[in-house]
């Protein structure tokens, strides 16, 4: 089972058992038929700027106070909960979101340099495990916060999401004549180069997700495609100091070619076996997390074309929601998208679930459709209009779209998760300008790593 899916179950249990709130809190009734909202009439360009600015607020206004990295979660109904729990992967998404803020003039470069320098200095001094950071970090002292009893060490996938952001920071500032910007670029480079990717193979032809001083490789979670972990293999091959061999990718991620799928859904080729299951279609984040920096357009290895993989995943998800086989109220061409997010428990309280066609609970996660903007631009824009023009007061809060809602159950949770909010601005920017894709894909070590694994890119000429 995919770790993030298991993760969400564990976090939900932890939240339920540790919270002193009313057990039915975290879900807000929408007010039924009397809650009539005056529509807005924002243009497409206005909407895109609004949602990018809003998503940036999560990582800027609501960052962890000491490290200035991303909090795991922010609950408007309980703002102090887990205030100092830093999420490693979400922080990587936050680095990229802040770069977008600088590029678009939403925040000043000088403020961003100061903030990013604080964050990277914190990461330099935080606990590391053969170069990898833990899933959660205590923002006050840099020490590991166990994610589960045996998950108290390095998390290679979360580290990969962070490294994706570090490389983008390095590339953005590397040619600057300003001393502070150049120092930031060099710090990002040093942090990325210190990750010991090959340690996490155990000498085998596969990458492992976790290693702990106490439990070694006991969690025994191998990274095999197709899921959100492709970026881990790409960066492991790209590492100048701790690189893996191509065989690790072939036998691990690509399953010796068995990653390929011949199945179709709604007449659309699935292309890959999601999590090794023929015909399965996983949660939408599988086509987001690795592709904030990794440009799938025209990107292929010897097995599949990842432009087809990601776009078809998005199209199938859209068609599933339109077809709506379970008959949920509120699934339509403007309200769609399933991914791992907060969810509605059967008692009406807020839980967590990895929403996907085979785990469809009537809950829409806005990040799913919005982060699909490069793949399904028209359908994603319709979702953005639905949220901001038609339902602003219901679904938009202090940091953009709330994490999840259900029209069927008349429910919305006024809460945010870093990993969900963190893909919105990057993927929309890639749709607009290919900004992060160009930064990441043109990095010399990234390109070398892709070539080493047998990748070709029609966009970047290799």
- Only one residue has tokens 């032809």, namely 205
Residue 438 gets which letter from DSSP?
Answer: H
Model pLDDT, residue 37:
80
Model pLDDT, residue 280:
86
Model pLDDT, residue 276:
81
Residue 445 corresponds to which tokens in the numbers above? Answer: 């070590």
d(Cα 214, Cα 144) in Å, to the nearest integer?
13
Beta bridge partners of 250: none
Residue 413 corresponds to which tokens in the numbers above? Answer: 């949770």
Q: How far is CA 353 from CA 146, 365, 395, 459, in A?
A: 21, 11, 19, 36
Q: What are the chain's domains?
A: 41-457 (1.50.10.140)
**What's the predicted TM-score (pTM) here?**
0.94
Q: How far is CA 361 from CA 111, 338, 345, 407, in A?
A: 42, 9, 9, 12
Residue 120 corresponds to which tokens in the numbers above? Answer: 């990277």
Per-residue pLDDT of the chain (462 residues; tens, 9 = 90+): 345 444 433 333 333 323 323 333 466 544 333 356 889 999 999 999 999 999 999 999 999 999 999 999 999 999 999 999 999 999 999 999 999 999 999 999 999 999 999 999 999 999 999 999 999 999 999 999 999 999 999 999 999 999 999 999 999 999 999 999 999 999 999 999 999 999 999 999 999 999 999 999 999 999 999 999 999 999 999 999 999 999 999 999 999 999 999 999 999 999 999 998 888 899 999 999 999 999 999 999 999 999 999 999 999 999 999 999 999 999 999 999 999 999 999 999 999 999 999 999 999 999 999 999 999 999 999 999 999 999 999 999 999 999 999 999 999 999 999 999 999 999 999 999 999 999 999 999 999 999 999 999 999 999
Q: What's the angle, vertex CA 212, arms to CA 210 and CA 217, rounded to 5?
A: 55
Model pLDDT, residue 26:
60
Size (the chain), residues? 462
Give the model confidence (pLDDT) of 236-273 as tens digits.
Answer: 999 999 999 999 999 999 999 999 999 999 999 999 99
10 Å Cβ neighbour count for 180? Answer: 15
10 Å Cβ neighbour count for 171? Answer: 23
- What SS3 class is residue 413? strand
Give the model confidence (pLDDT) of 191-241 as tens digits.
Answer: 999 999 999 999 999 999 999 999 999 999 999 999 999 999 999 999 999
Find out whether 224 and 253 touch, Cβ atoms under 8 Å: yes
d(Cα 304, Cα 130) in Å, to the nearest integer?
32
Find out whether 429 and 366 touch, Cβ atoms under 8 Å: no
Model pLDDT, residue 35:
53
- What SS3 class is residue 268? strand
Q: How far is CA 311 from CA 16, 222, 254, 416, in A?
A: 36, 26, 19, 26
For strand 411-413 and strand 268-269, is the pairing parallel, antiparallel, or unpaired?
A: unpaired
């Amino acid at each position: 089972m995919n770790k993030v899916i298991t993760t969400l179950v564990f976090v939900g249990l932890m939240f339920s058992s540790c919270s002193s709130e009313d057990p039915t809190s975290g879900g807000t009734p929408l007010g039924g038929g009397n809650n009539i909202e005056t529509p807005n009439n924002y243009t497409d360009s206005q909407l895109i700027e609004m949602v990018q600015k809003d998503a940036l607020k999560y990582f800027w206004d609501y960052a962890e106070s000491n490290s200035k990295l991303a909090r795991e979660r922010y609950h408007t109904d309980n703002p102090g909960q887990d205030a100092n729990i830093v999420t490693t992967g979400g922080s990587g998404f936050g680095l990229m979101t802040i770069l977008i803020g600088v590029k678009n003039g939403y925040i000043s470069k000088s403020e961003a340099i100061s903030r990013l320098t604080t964050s990277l200095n914190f990461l330099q001094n935080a606990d590391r495990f053969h170069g990898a950071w833990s899933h959660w970090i205590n923002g006050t002292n840099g020490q590991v916060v166990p994610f589960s009893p045996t998950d108290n060490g390095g998390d290679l996938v979360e580290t990969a999401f962070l490294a994706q952001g570090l490389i983008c920071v390095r590339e953005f500032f590397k040619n600057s004549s300003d001393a502070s910007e150049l120092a930031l670029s060099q710090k990002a480079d040093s942090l990325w180069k210190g990750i010991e990717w090959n340690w996490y193979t155990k000498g085998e032809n596969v990458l492992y997700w976790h290693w702990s001083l106490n439990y070694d490789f006991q969690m025994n979670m191998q990274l095999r495609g197709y899921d959100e972990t492709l970026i881990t293999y790409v960066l492991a091959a790209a590492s100048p100091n701790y690189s893996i061999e191509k065989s690790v990718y072939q036998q691990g991620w690509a399953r010796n070619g068995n990653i390929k799928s011949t199945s179709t859904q709604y007449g659309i080729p699935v292309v890959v076996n999601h999590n090794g299951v023929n015909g399965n279609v996983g949660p939408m984040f599988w086509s987001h997390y690795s592709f904030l920096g990794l440009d799938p357009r025209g990107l292929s290895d010897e097995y599949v074309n990842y432009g087809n993989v990601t776009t078809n995943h998005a199209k199938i998800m859209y068609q599933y929601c339109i077809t709506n086989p379970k008959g949920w109220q509120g699934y339509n061409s403007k309200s769609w998208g399933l991914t791992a997010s907060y969810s509605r428990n059967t008692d009406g309280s807020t839980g967590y679930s990895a929403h996907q066609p085979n785990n469809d609970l009537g809950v829409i996660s806005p990040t799913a459709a919005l982060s699909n903007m490069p793949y399904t631009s028209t359908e994603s824009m319709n979702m953005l209009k639905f949220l901001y023009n038609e339902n602003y007061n219901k679904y938009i809060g202090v940091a953009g779209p709330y994490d999840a809602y259900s029209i069927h159950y008349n429910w919305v949770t006024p809460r945010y998760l870093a990993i969900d909010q963190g893909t919105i601005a990057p993927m929309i920017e890639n749709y607009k300008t290919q900004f992060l894709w160009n930064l990441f894909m043109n990095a010399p070590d990234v390109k070398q790593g892709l070539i080493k694994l047998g990748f070709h890119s029609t966009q970047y000429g290799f």
